[in-house]
A and B are shown apart, each in its own frame.
Chain A
Amino acid sequence: DTGVSQDPRHKITKRGQNVTFRCDPISEHNRLYWYRQTLGQGPEFLTYFQNEAQLEKSRLLSDRFSAERPKGSFSTLEIQRTEQGDSAMYLCASSLARESYEQYFGPGTRLTVT
């Protein structure tokens, strides 16, 4: 399968714990995005990488959230001191720079904070 993959697919954690999600984009895609989606809403932009550089971050992204893409391939999204409001689907997408933001999404990681 050469699509975008995400791991884990589901995560249940207790409030206050840290969690880390991984995204593997389509191999030739140099752009990588993280989104959060809650029920009945469209995905909300969190952050964006071009190669290994994190170029944009949403104002929604508090200092408890950090993302990396150290070698310009896979990316990780870490949430520290999770809160119940962090419960959502976390989606990763990738695209080619020349494709004008036509994005391809992974299956998502569903986070439940209890």
Chain B
Amino acid sequence: RKEVEQDPGPFNVPEGATVAFNCTYSNSASQSFFWYRQDCRKEPKLLMSVYSSGNEDGRFTAQLNRASQYISLLIRDSKLSDSATYLCVVNMDSSASKIIFGSGTRLSIRP
């Protein structure tokens, strides 16, 4: 089993739709969680950290479910500009070498 797993997609949804994807992680002791966005042939950019209480930033909501060992990202009222690959990142312990990136979920928003 991979340490961090994501559905590769692609998720193809119409503009204005709500879309959600999950990311599962293997280590129950994992300490911190992030979502990054990566556009084609560009570097990853931090989208949001994921807190135990969940957090929201505009149209984006991130949730952590420690019992089931997954994090989720919800995008409401999707825009064409949301088309990208979304990378789930899990810090398995306190060391930098255990910052594990998922392979990403591709999202394509159609007009």
Contact = CB atoms under 8 A, between A and B. Distances in A.
B59 interface: no
A58 B97 contact: yes
B103 A105 contact: no
Most chain A Cβ neighbours within 10 Å, of B42, B43, B44, B45: B43
A41 B95 CA distance: 21
Contact of B96 (A40, A44, A55, A104): A55
Contacts of A104: 46
Interface residues of B, number: 22
A104 B97 CA distance: 16
Interface of A: 31, 33, 35, 40-45, 48, 55-58, 91, 100-108
Interface of B: 4, 8, 32, 34, 42-46, 49, 87, 89, 91, 95-97, 99-104
Of all A-B residue pairs in the complex, the 5 with the closest CB atoms, nearest first, are: A42-B101, A48-B96, A105-B43, A56-B97, A43-B101
